[in-house]
Structure 1
Amino acid sequence: MTIKVLVVDDSAVVRQVLSGLLNAAAGIQVTHAVSDPLLAMERMKTVWPDVIVLDVEMPRMDGITFLRHIMAERPTPVVICSTLTEKGAQTTMDALAAGAVAIVTKPKLDLKNFLQSNASELVSAVRAAASANVARLAPRAGTAATPVARAKLTADAMLPPADGRAMAQTTEQVVAIGTSTGGTQALEEVLTALPRVCPGIVVVQHMPEKFTAAFAARLNTLSEIEVKEAANNDRVLPGRALIAPGGKHMLLRRNGAQYFVEVVDGPLVNRHRPSVDVLFRSVSRCAGANALGIIMTGMGDDGAAGLLEMRQAGARTLGQDERSCVVYGMPKEAVKRGAVERSLPLGAIAAEIVQQMNRSGGGRGDI
């Protein structure tokens, strides 16, 4: 089945290059490429696209307003293709919060060559968007990251497998969450439902650099718990969620009975940095049975192997169920490998996190 794509960008160069790249990919057809949302609305009266590739800043109507209009009228997968600057990161985050599925970053300079050299990233984003369950996107705000089609290394590239000697059971609990496409919507639903007293949480959400800080800050304003972009040596504390920075791997470490995170450079693992497998493996080594691992909506298989290692180390493991996922890829692979103890709807995950602390008899730490 052909994926029909509508490109909306005020740059003629971007429209031409994107159309050429997408039309060259098997199973994708650009039906229209227009300069602003008002023209897009006219074209959509005749052919409604399967996926919209959308810029943010455009004349006559900005991309955020257009996106909100689309998600209210007829939810449709949208890929944001926007220039990444620190100043513009919040604008793009707002667009993603309105219900976009994925982001593809583009520079201000040498745009044509960039798009051509990153064609596989764009095609992967469009295909992931086409398979997304947009009914899960419309009601809530969020963002998602784009799969990066590059060499696929495993967590071995960052640290060796666990030796089976994790710490004995303590009252210090750790919850490790991994997610990708559709994950920011899912994370918002989970984290905003948590009470201030809950286990310490470490999160990998596939997301580019500069976006994780804005994403964490937004969740922090919405949640009772503290949510922040992780920095090296940050403590994992009850009532705090640490989100791995885009472009860096995050590992759990332990000093005595206290947990902290290490934020490091490294190769792409499972085509991602940060990688869920890297985080989960480190949790299996440092926390063992003191941990709860949760794998949520996302394309691909990152996290499946690491979650299995967590389960083998004695951790409890959960997967988001198919019905509540935007893309049932990562949880499906984890279930197939035997890594998931139970699959739950998204709305039940926060309660399980609270139960993790109750099972341990309460959490400790300085908040």
Structure 2
Amino acid sequence: MSKVRVVVVDDSAFMRKAIESMIAKDPDIEIVGQARNGFEAVDMAKKLRPDVMTLDIEMPRMDGLTALQKIMEENPLPVIMVSSLTTEGADATIKALEYGAVDFISKDKSFASFGVMKIEDELRNKIKSFARRKGIIRRMPVRKPMRPSAPAAQRQPQAPSKPEATKTVSRGFGKKLVVIGTSTGGPQSLQKVIPRIPANFPCPIVIVQHMPPNFTKSLATRLDSLSKLKVIEAQGNEKLEPGTVYIAKGGNHLKLKRAGSGLLTGISSEPEGSLHVPSVDVTVESIANVAGTDTLGVIMTGMGSDGRKGLQMLKQRGGNVIAQDEESCIVYGMPRAVIEAGISDEIVPLDDIFNRIIFHCK
């Protein structure tokens, strides 16, 4: 098996060395080039044809966003952005994910804890996973997504010709709540789902996207600007309303609770020690307890298995589950865990997920 070839791009020699030290411990990964600015990054993408690139955002001569757009237009490949946890860094990272970057790592968190095995393992695993999925990068959008036309957003969804068999009897139609869980590849994939749902959609939508603070707010702002639905970052104590999307706040768990005949958002630090904060499992389990039968669960691209336990409980309470198919996933981890556990009712390509959501909630 050939090694995964990586180019590291950063204007800081220390950062280049830090990233190299983190990933070079894996014998299956080879650093084939290091660049100091966007011009060099574009040139190396063309000449070296690496499998994966790490790319800083703020650099002299040509910044990372400009370089990324050129790379994705000329020589598409999986690009991991290196960003700060500031609001400005979050906004820039969301743009990078729109332009085709597959993921990001944070200078603040990752390198303040330099040498922590968990961070090193996660980065190396992602690099190898993205390298295996290199071909899909050419099919991802590299420009800002456009609002769908009204006919496309409102076309009548069709029933699946061959729904997946399940052991649990679920009420498949007339759902009153949708919960979506996603991680790596989620921001750009959500832009192919949420903006295509019509303004008169009758249900609230809850989204859990693995992201740190500031990033989820930037994601909500961007999705809101593209969508007919209202999209907000949940702050707690909001009453769930139809046609509104609530994104779990980075660094906190989102839990739903009953309030009379309605549901309220709740922000919590419990359980502590979760691998992901926010966690799909935590949110979906809370939903299963208060609105299981009335809920449609959707699991999309992401690494790991977060969401499997929660969606299993949701199915036991009478909910339905849609999983994104392998071909359209940036990382086929979270959907795979759900599918292999026999939890999914349907396995759906990314481009048709919005249609299936509308179908189940009509």
Q: Give the TM bin, normalised by the shorter chain.
A: 0.7 to 0.9
Relative to structure 1, is the Cα distance of residues 283 and 59 closer, same or farther in structure 2, using a 3 angstrom cutoff? same
Tell me whether 1:217 sits opposite 2:221 in the alignment: yes
1:197 corresponds to which of 180, 196, 200: 200
Alignment partner, residue 141 of structure 2: 138
Q: Is the 8 A contact 1:209 1:245 kept in 2?
A: yes
Distance in structure 2 (CA, Å) of the matches to 1:204 and 1:183: 10
**Secondary structure of the structure 2 residue equivalent to 1:75:** coil
**Secondary structure of the structure 1 residue equivalent to 2:6:** strand
**Secondary structure of the structure 2 residue equivalent to 1:116:** coil
Aligned residues: 330
Tell me whether 1:123 sits opposite 2:127 in the alignment: no
Distance in structure 2 (CA, Å) of the matches to 1:320 and 1:112: 33
Q: Is the 8 A contact 1:317 1:341 kept in 2?
A: yes
Relative to structure 1, is the Cα distance of residues 170 and 179 closer, same or farther in structure 2, using a 3 angstrom cutoff? closer
Relative to structure 1, is the Cα distance of residues 245 and 140 closer, same or farther in structure 2, using a 3 angstrom cutoff? farther
TM-score normalised by length of structure 2? 0.85
Relative to structure 1, is the Cα distance of residues 130 and 355 closer, same or farther in structure 2, using a 3 angstrom cutoff? same
Offset, 1:115: 3.3
Alignment partner, residue 80 of structure 2: 79
Tell me whether 1:346 sits opposite 2:347 in the alignment: no
Offset, 1:95: 1.9
Q: What value does the CA root-mean-square deviation take over the aligned residues?
A: 2.2
2:278 corresponds to which of 259, 271, 274: 274
Distance in structure 2 (CA, Å) of the matches to 1:84 and 1:30: 26
Distance in structure 1 (CA, Å) of the matches to 2:143 and 2:291: 32
Distance in structure 1 (CA, Å) of the matches to 2:48 and 2:175: 55
Relative to structure 1, is the Cα distance of residues 33 and 169 closer, same or farther in structure 2, using a 3 angstrom cutoff? closer
Distance in structure 2 (CA, Å) of the matches to 1:59 and 1:214: 24
Structure 2 unaligned blocks of 5 or more: 146-170
Deviation string, structure 1 residues 58-100 (Cα, Å, up to 9, x no partner): 1111100110111111221011112221233212222222111
Superposed, 1:322-337 pairs within 5 Å as 322-337=326-341
2:317 corresponds to which of 310, 313, 318: 313
Alignment partner, residue 6 of structure 1: 7
Offset, 1:327: 1.4
Alignment partner, residue 288 of structure 1: 292
Relative to structure 1, is the Cα distance of residues 46 and 189 closer, same or farther in structure 2, using a 3 angstrom cutoff? closer
Q: Is the 8 A contact 1:103 1:125 kept in 2?
A: no
**Secondary structure of the structure 2 residue equivalent to 1:60:** coil
Tell me whether 1:61 sits opposite 2:65 in the alignment: no
Distance in structure 2 (CA, Å) of the matches to 1:26 and 1:253: 48
Q: Match of 1:279, as an amino acid?
A: T
Alignment partner, residue 156 of structure 1: none
Deviation string, structure 1 residues 168-218 (Cα, Å, up to 9, x no partner): 999771101101111111111110001112210001011111100011001
Alignment partner, residue 150 of structure 1: none
Q: Is the 8 A contact 1:104 1:125 kept in 2?
A: no
**Secondary structure of the structure 2 residue equivalent to 1:293:** strand
Q: Is the 8 A contact 1:305 1:339 kept in 2?
A: no
Q: Is the 8 A contact 2:55 2:80 kept in 1?
A: yes
Superposed, 1:116-195 pairs within 5 Å as 116-117=115-116, 118-132=119-133, 133-139=136-142, 173-195=176-198
Relative to structure 1, is the Cα distance of residues 237 and 26 closer, same or farther in structure 2, using a 3 angstrom cutoff? farther
Relative to structure 1, is the Cα distance of residues 83 and 292 closer, same or farther in structure 2, using a 3 angstrom cutoff? same
TM-score normalised by length of structure 1? 0.84
Alignment partner, residue 146 of structure 1: none
Tell me whether 1:241 sits opposite 2:240 in the alignment: no
Offset, 1:26: 3.2
Q: Match of 1:79, as an amino acid?
A: I
Deviation string, structure 1 residues 26-70 (Cα, Å, up to 9, x no partner): 311111111112223333444211110000011111100110111
Relative to structure 1, is the Cα distance of residues 302 and 136 closer, same or farther in structure 2, using a 3 angstrom cutoff? farther
Offset, 1:15: 0.9
Relative to structure 1, is the Cα distance of residues 91 and 306 closer, same or farther in structure 2, using a 3 angstrom cutoff? same
Tell me whether 1:226 sits opposite 2:230 in the alignment: yes
Alignment partner, residue 363 of structure 1: none
Q: Is the 8 A contact 2:305 2:334 kept in 1?
A: yes
Deviation string, structure 1 residues 111-155 (Cα, Å, up to 9, x no partner): 86533334334323323432443134334659xxxxxxxxxxxxx
Distance in structure 1 (CA, Å) of the matches to 2:143 and 2:300: 16
Relative to structure 1, is the Cα distance of residues 124 and 319 closer, same or farther in structure 2, using a 3 angstrom cutoff? same
Relative to structure 1, is the Cα distance of residues 252 and 141 closer, same or farther in structure 2, using a 3 angstrom cutoff? farther
Distance in structure 1 (CA, Å) of the matches to 2:328 and 2:35: 33
Offset, 1:220: 0.3
Q: Is the 8 A contact 2:172 2:360 kept in 1?
A: no
Q: Point out 4+ residue stretches in structure 1 off by more than 6 angstroms.
A: 168-172
Relative to structure 1, is the Cα distance of residues 205 and 341 closer, same or farther in structure 2, using a 3 angstrom cutoff? same
Deviation string, structure 1 residues 218-238 (Cα, Å, up to 9, x no partner): 110110000010111112111
Q: Match of 2:265, as an amino acid?
A: V
Structure 1 unaligned blocks of 5 or more: 143-167, 359-367
Offset, 1:356: 2.7
